[in-house]
């Protein structure tokens, strides 16, 4: 059973709602349950006793927010109905003068499809400028739910609590600075969703997908049951990438980890790793007989690397039967075209690397990330693509992409991708995990981002070394 959250267009969301009403469900009952779900989230995430300002428009989005009021005992709640922005602006200013801790944005929902008039823009600008945390109900007001574009102005939310499904525009890069953290309120009383009811346009990850994964280990298991990952990484000036990739790999708990690195970096890499085997690269290098996955690329940025390494990577990609994860500098060595039919292939580019491989700018990749993923996968023999960034995408050509909801801007530092590459490769090295490559790829990305979120929650500075200590299944 797929427990991912569907991504729907506004037409798809309306079709789901209409099917629910036709089945006998009542719209008022769903609004009541949405309000209860909003209140439940607030009780779990906002300090008791906080002052809440509920800014409610005249549509159902405002009704959803107003429906939370009966469930907010213990908070100081003030509701401001904004029906005429020109006359209600003063009331809103007065409420802001009472210094709420959190604003709940219920001004507009998915029905907004035309540019806002100047009085509404002033209301939104007022809320954005007050430097108070904002929770947006369903979509940030002023954001087009399909395109992710602003309609003159849009609420800059810290959290967006979207109802039932993620709206298509929320996962567009244009929307990222407005949505904040996306949270899905799933149990709101609509007819149970199925793709036969409304076809999704993508998926968004959810914790429920990874319950019970990886499968429990047998009490009689030994290290040979959990595979051997070989990591080709590290060069002069970049030896830390090999260390971080190895540490990320060890956190996935494969049976064995071997790091192969440039001769000049052998000593600094080996001196920092106790549980991994380390070998210097030579032109005669061959994979150990029981290798079950290979990671190539972290820290192979030294232009003085022997050409033999790049040829070895190209031959590995084209001919090896075990899973191969290609990251960083190895991406430029990959040949186009077919790969072994049963060989799992994964690439982990960020937007700049994806653009370089596709011959376009990073901005063009960011403007159509799903399209870039499709094209890159097709070029590389239908490889799996982990397109890193805000809302990392996982997928391959011909299949619906999956959008990762975990992680934060703290991952925008050198080394975090090396940890992910090692963690991915060591997970795929384990036969039980490689048997469900979709769940394993998604889960590894989800857990990597989740580790970053735990670090960010401490409010202490952290590095990729901390990430490598915390990431786990």
Q: What is the CATH number of the domain that holds 172?
A: 3.40.50.10260
Strand-by-strand arrangement of the 51-56 sheet: 76-81, 51-56, 102-106, 133-137, 159-163, 181-185
**In this structure, are 169 and 262 located in the same domain?**
no
Per-residue DSSP letters for 126-189? HHHHT--EEEEESS-TTB-TTT--BSS-----SEEEEESSEEGGGGSGGGHHHH-EEEEE--SS
Q: What is the CATH number of the domain that holds 330?
A: 3.40.1190.20
- The answer as to whether 212 is a domain residue is no
**Quick one: DSSP state of residue 404?**
-
Sequence-distant (≥ 6) Cβ neighbours of residue 312 within 8 angstroms:
232, 285
Answer yes or no: do 251 and 147 share one domain. no
User: In this structure, is residue 214 part of a structural domain?
Assistant: no
Q: What is the DSSP string of 316-363?
A: HHHH-SS-EEE-GGGGGGPPPS---TT--EEE---HHHHHHHHTS-HH
Say what the pLDDT of residue 197 is.
Answer: 85
CA distances from 293 to 192, 317, 326, 394, 426 (A): 39, 12, 11, 19, 7
Q: Does the structure show a pLDDT above 80 at 191?
A: yes
Structure tokens at 293: 């996955």
> Does 189 lie in the same domain as 270?
no
Residues 379 and 249 in one domain: yes
User: Furthest-apart CA pair in the chain: how many Å?
Assistant: 79
Shared domain for 443 and 324, answered yes or no, is yes
Mean pLDDT of 369-391: 96
Task: Count Cα atoms within 13 angstroms, Cβ side, for 179.
Answer: 27
Q: What is the mean pLDDT of residues 303-318?
A: 92
Of 204, 239, 255, the residue at which a domain comes to its end is 204
What is the token pair recorded at 292? 């079950």
**Full residue range of the structural domain in which residue 332 is found:** 223-470
Angle between helices 239-251 and 416-428 (to 10 degrees): 40
- What value does the mean pLDDT take over residues 243-251? 98
Q: Do 300 and 173 reside in the same domain of the chain?
A: no
pLDDT tens, position by position, 204-217? 999 999 999 999 99
Once rounded to an integer, what is the mean pLDDT over residues 241-268? 97
- Tell me: do 144 and 230 sit in the same domain: no
Please provide the DSSP assignment of 16-68 as one string.
HHHHHHHTT--HHHHHHHHHHHHHHHHHHHS-TT-EEEEEE-SSHHHHHHHTT
User: Which H or E element spans position 343?
Assistant: none
The reported pLDDT for the residue numbered 193 is: 86
pLDDT tens-digit readout, 69-100: 999 999 999 999 999 999 999 999 999 999 99
Is it the case that residue 312 has pLDDT exceeding 90?
Answer: yes
Confirm whether 217 is domain-assigned. no
The model's pLDDT over 25-37, given as tens digits with 9 standing for 90+, comes to: 999 999 999 999 9
**Same structural domain, 354 and 444:** yes
Q: Do the strands 393-395 and 384-387 form a parallel or antiparallel pair, or are they unpaired?
A: antiparallel
**How far, in Å, CA of 24 to CA of 26, rounded?**
6
The last residue of one of the domains, among 174, 204, 234, is 204
Q: How many helices (H) does the chain have, and how many strands (E)? A: 16, 18
Q: Residue 80 domain-assigned?
A: yes
Proportion of the chain above pLDDT 90, given as a percent: 95
- pTM exceeding 0.85: yes
Within 297-442, strands assigned E span 324-326, 345-347, 384-387, 393-395, 402-403
Instruction: Sort 219 into a burial class: Cβ within 10 Å, 0-12 / 13-18 / 19+.
Output: exposed
- Assess if residue 62 is contained within a domain: yes
For residue 400, tell me if it sits in a domain. yes
> Which among 369, 367, 316 has a CA at the least distance from the CA of 346?
316
Mark which of 204, 231, 256 sits at the end of a domain: 204
Co-location of 196 and 235 in the same domain:
no
Radius of gyration of the chain (CA): 25
Residues 311 and 257 in one domain: yes
* Domain membership flag for residue 213: no
Helix (H) or strand (E) holding 190: none
Q: Cα–Cα distance between 58 and 94 in angstroms, integer?
A: 20
Task: Say what the pLDDT of residue 1 is.
Answer: 53
pLDDT digits (tens, 9 = 90+) for 420-438: 999 999 999 999 999 999 9
Q: Are 448 and 470 in contact (CB under 8 A)?
A: no
pLDDT at 4: 85
Q: How far apart are CA 236 and CA 261, in angstroms?
A: 10
Question: What is the residue-averaged pLDDT of the chain?
Answer: 96
Overall average pLDDT of the 440-456 stretch: 98
Same domain for 456 and 331, yes or no, is yes
Task: Tell whether 111 and 54 lie within a shared domain.
Answer: yes
User: What is the number of domains present in the chain?
Assistant: 2
Residue 318 lies in a domain: yes
Residue 406 pLDDT > 70: yes
Q: How confident is the model at residue 307 (pLDDT cuts 50, 70, 90)?
A: confident
């Amino acid at each position: 059973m797929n427990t991912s959250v569907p991504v729907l267009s506004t037409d798809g969301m309306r079709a789901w709602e209409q099917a629910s009403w036709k089945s006998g469900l009542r719209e008022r009952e769903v609004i009541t349950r949405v309000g209860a779900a909003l209140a439940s989230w607030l009780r779990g995430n906002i300090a008791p006793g906080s002052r809440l300002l509920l800014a409610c428009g005249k549509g159902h989005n405002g009704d959803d927010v107003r429906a939370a009021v009966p469930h907010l005992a213990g908070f100081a709640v003030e509701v401001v109905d904004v029906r005429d922005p020109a006359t209600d602006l003063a009331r809103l200013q007065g409420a802001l003068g009472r210094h709420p801790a959190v604003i709940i944005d219920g001004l507009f929902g998915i029905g907004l499809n035309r540019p806002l008039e100047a009085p509404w823009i002033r209301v939104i600008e007022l809320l954005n400028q007050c430097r108070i945390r904002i929770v947006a109900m369903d979509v940030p007001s002023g954001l087009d739910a399909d395109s992710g574009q602003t309609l003159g102005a849009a609420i800059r939310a810290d959290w967006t609590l979207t109802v039932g499904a993620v709206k298509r525009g929320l996962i567009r890069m244009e929307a990222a600075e407005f949505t904040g953290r996306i949270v899905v309120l799933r149990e709101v009383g609509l007819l149970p969703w199925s793709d036969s009811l409304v076809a999704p346009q993508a998926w968004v990850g959810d914790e429920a997908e990874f319950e019970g994964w990886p499968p429990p280990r047998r009490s009689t298991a030994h290290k040979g049951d959990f595979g051997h990952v070989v990591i080709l990484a590290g060069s002069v000036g970049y030896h830390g990438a090999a260390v971080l990739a190895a540490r990320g790999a060890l956190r996935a708990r494969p049976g064995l980890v071997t790091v192969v690195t440039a001769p000049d970096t052998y000593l600094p890499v080996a001196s920092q790793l106790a549980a991994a085997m380390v070998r210097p690269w030579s032109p005669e290098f061959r994979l150990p007989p029981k290798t079950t996955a290979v990671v190539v690329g972290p820290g192979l940025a030294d232009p003085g690397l022997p050409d033999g390494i790049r040829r070895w990577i190209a031959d590995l990609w084209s001919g090896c039967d075990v899973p191969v994860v290609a990251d960083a500098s190895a991406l430029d060595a990959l040949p186009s075209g077919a790969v072994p039919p049963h060989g799992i292939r994964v690439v982990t580019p960020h937007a700049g690397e994806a653009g370089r491989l596709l011959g376009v700018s990073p901005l063009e990749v960011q403007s159509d990330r799903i399209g870039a993923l499709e094209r890159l996968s097709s070029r590389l023999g239908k490889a799996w693509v982990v397109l890193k960034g805000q809302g990392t995408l996982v997928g391959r050509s011909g299949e619906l992409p999956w959008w990762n909801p975990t992680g934060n801007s703290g991952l925008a530092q050198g080394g975090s991708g090396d940890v992910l590459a090692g963690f991915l490769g060591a997970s795929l090295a384990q036969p039980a995990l490689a048997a469900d490559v979709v769940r394993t790829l998604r889960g590894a990305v989800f857990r990597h981002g989740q580790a970053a979120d735990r670090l960010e929650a401490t409010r202490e500075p952290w590095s990729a070394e901390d990430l490598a200590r915390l990431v786990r299944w």
